[in-house]
Structure 1
């Protein structure tokens, strides 16, 4: 089950035009007329949107972070648009099963994906055949929330900071092990990035989910774990584990005394479990704009913001263009890490 995180050459700093062919005059006019007609018809159709229920596919079982995002936002979105918003949980294949389903759905705005870091930014490089291409098959609609990863250790651990942990790792290479919720998950790749960036040798111990990983962490079988805030907050409050650092660019409001990895040992370090809405490629601009506008209004509501922030999730309304840029940067970051570590999902 164990595997040693390999070292790789190169830096992680970088992560954080062909000529047009000739078109004859008649071809140009035909293309222009078709585009104009498509735009007019698309806008007219979108003016009546939505005219029936919207299904939001969550590619994991109920209860997870993405499911929370989808249900909390969906309940309010339904009131605003005057149509039911149905959350459909389709777990399987590390999120790929439900994601493939939406990729093949009609591009009419009635089937959406609540996609998260793994299936959107990691699977494309870590899975041999995910069955979809994020950039070709989807249109980013709106960021729902961004849940930070927190680096935690057993309460009994002899180190009280990330610096002390790395000092122990350097003193005895291979003596420090870290848990993850599974190979090529964001938590695994965050820890691998830390090992690569600090030139330390640490042992990866993958689990099938966060539950057993946290149990073994509390028992001292592993020395640290990059976990979502929502999964470990009760244990932090109970004093069974202790925080060493947060993986956000800035300190968390909920844990202001805990430093970031970036400010202590590795500038630019930033990893999170984010979730957002995606529509099949070809969904009309007017539909994407309408959904983005309404979702951004909802996540800006004080009650919704407070609910997300209670779980440690950050809320940042993004336009479709800014969300698209964010997704592309995440895909590039994880693709490089997957290549460096050799991590893959069966």
Structure 2
């Protein structure tokens, strides 16, 4: 009889707790589809991150996660739309490091302020930035590239996915750190840039590892070095630029999820917990790895610290190199 009474009391307590939660007016989140804005066209690093993560979150939440690509303006169109969205957790933005750390360092007039207008949720993915050459290239190492640039200042073409991109910054940083000068040949994205490299339009290119990965297995392209300070877990055999005499350079193509300022703390906390759990799942890790990236779940504070640290460094590189966007 005593056991029966205890069981009844437990059921009553659970029911009462549920009733109190319902009466408190705090709705469950999410109750409907969530939208993730992407500042670039489909197929790039940021878009892939949004789609992999969005698919997993949709499974967990039981509500669709809609990916909305708003490309243009070097990422400013989607970022501006995100900061103007209702801060209710139903509009998020998958930003790249370029959107939150490079653009504020590079552009004189910014339509948004990362600290003022956005709330960090979690870092999502990280892909190395590589200096690549074709298999028949005379450049077999970073030292070869630097020597050629010193012999012919400004005469060595290096392709990048665009002016003002994080890869463009790496190119300027490479030149600054080695007292050399290169000719930036910008293309409209990583796809056109890697095709230009393969076809011989440019002898070298600085690209996200995901852009070159399809051409590494058959030997069409070779990675001469990566821009990160440490070697990548994706391929520990790739040497860093720093190991090859290029001091200071440390950059990668990372993505992170943000919400509009004013989004309730409870929603940010839930988003962070759900995102971190999703990124730590084996199937999500495998999907990112197959695309040449690794997951980097974080706390909101860790993401904010990285953004601010890189912003300070990038401001210095931009100022010293004279890098600018028309």
Task: Determine which of 88, 91, 95 is the counterpart of 1:108.
Answer: 88
1:46, 1:284 within 8 Å by CA — same for their partners in 2?
no
Structure showing greater Rg: 2
Q: Alpha-carbon deviation of 1:289? A: 1.1
Change in CA separation of 1:78 and 1:216 when aligned onto 2, cut-off 3 Å: closer
Change in CA separation of 1:312 and 1:46 when aligned onto 2, cut-off 3 Å: farther
Structure 2: how far apart are the matches of 1:165 and 1:343? 21
More off after superposition, 256-265 vs 107-116: 256-265
SS at match of 1:91: coil
Scaled by the length of structure 2, what TM-score is found?
0.87
1:155, 1:218 within 8 Å by CA — same for their partners in 2?
no
For 2:115, the equivalent position in structure 1 comes to 135
For 1:51, the equivalent position in structure 2 comes to 31
SS at match of 1:306: helix
Change in CA separation of 1:211 and 1:86 when aligned onto 2, cut-off 3 Å: closer
For each residue in 1:205-253, what CA deviation from the matched residue of structure 2 results, as whole angstroms up to 9, or x when unmatched?
2222223322332233323211111111112223222110112232233
For 2:289, the equivalent position in structure 1 comes to 309
Question: 2:127 aligned with 1:147, yes or no?
Answer: yes
Q: Alpha-carbon deviation of 1:185? A: 0.6
Structure 2: how far apart are the matches of 1:201 and 1:278? 36
Q: Alpha-carbon deviation of 1:47? A: 5.7
For 1:333, the equivalent position in structure 2 comes to 313
Change in CA separation of 1:46 and 1:156 when aligned onto 2, cut-off 3 Å: farther
For each residue in 1:296-341, what CA deviation from the matched residue of structure 2 results, as whole angstroms up to 9, or x when unmatched?
1111111111111222212222101011101111222222222223
SS at match of 2:295: coil
SS at match of 2:122: strand
Task: Determine which of 177, 180, 193 is the counterpart of 1:213.
Answer: 193
For each residue in 1:113-141, what CA deviation from the matched residue of structure 2 results, as whole angstroms up to 9, or x when unmatched?
01112222222232343311112110111
SS at match of 1:49: coil
For 2:249, the equivalent position in structure 1 comes to 269
Structure 2: how far apart are the matches of 1:216 and 1:338? 26
Structure 1: how far apart are the matches of 2:251 and 2:80? 25
Question: 2:245 aligned with 1:245, yes or no?
Answer: no
Between Structure 1 and Structure 2, how many residues are aligned? Answer: 304
- Please list every run of 5 or more consecutive structure 2 residues that lacks an aligned counterpart in the other structure: 1-23
Q: Alpha-carbon deviation of 1:184? A: 1.4
Task: Determine which of 159, 162, 165 is the counterpart of 1:179.
Answer: 159
Question: 2:239 aligned with 1:259, yes or no?
Answer: yes
2:39, 2:95 within 8 Å by CA — same for their partners in 1?
yes
Q: Alpha-carbon deviation of 1:183? A: 1.1
Q: Alpha-carbon deviation of 1:282? A: 1.5
2:160, 2:168 within 8 Å by CA — same for their partners in 1?
yes
Q: Alpha-carbon deviation of 1:170? A: 1.8
1:248, 1:272 within 8 Å by CA — same for their partners in 2?
yes
Scaled by the length of structure 1, what TM-score is found?
0.82
1:177, 1:202 within 8 Å by CA — same for their partners in 2?
yes
Q: Alpha-carbon deviation of 1:46? A: 5.6
Question: 2:140 aligned with 1:163, yes or no?
Answer: no
Q: Alpha-carbon deviation of 1:79? A: 2.2
Change in CA separation of 1:231 and 1:45 when aligned onto 2, cut-off 3 Å: farther
SS at match of 2:216: helix
Within-5 A mapping of 1:2-151:
48-151=28-131
Question: 2:232 aligned with 1:232, yes or no?
Answer: no
SS at match of 1:148: strand
Change in CA separation of 1:45 and 1:334 when aligned onto 2, cut-off 3 Å: farther
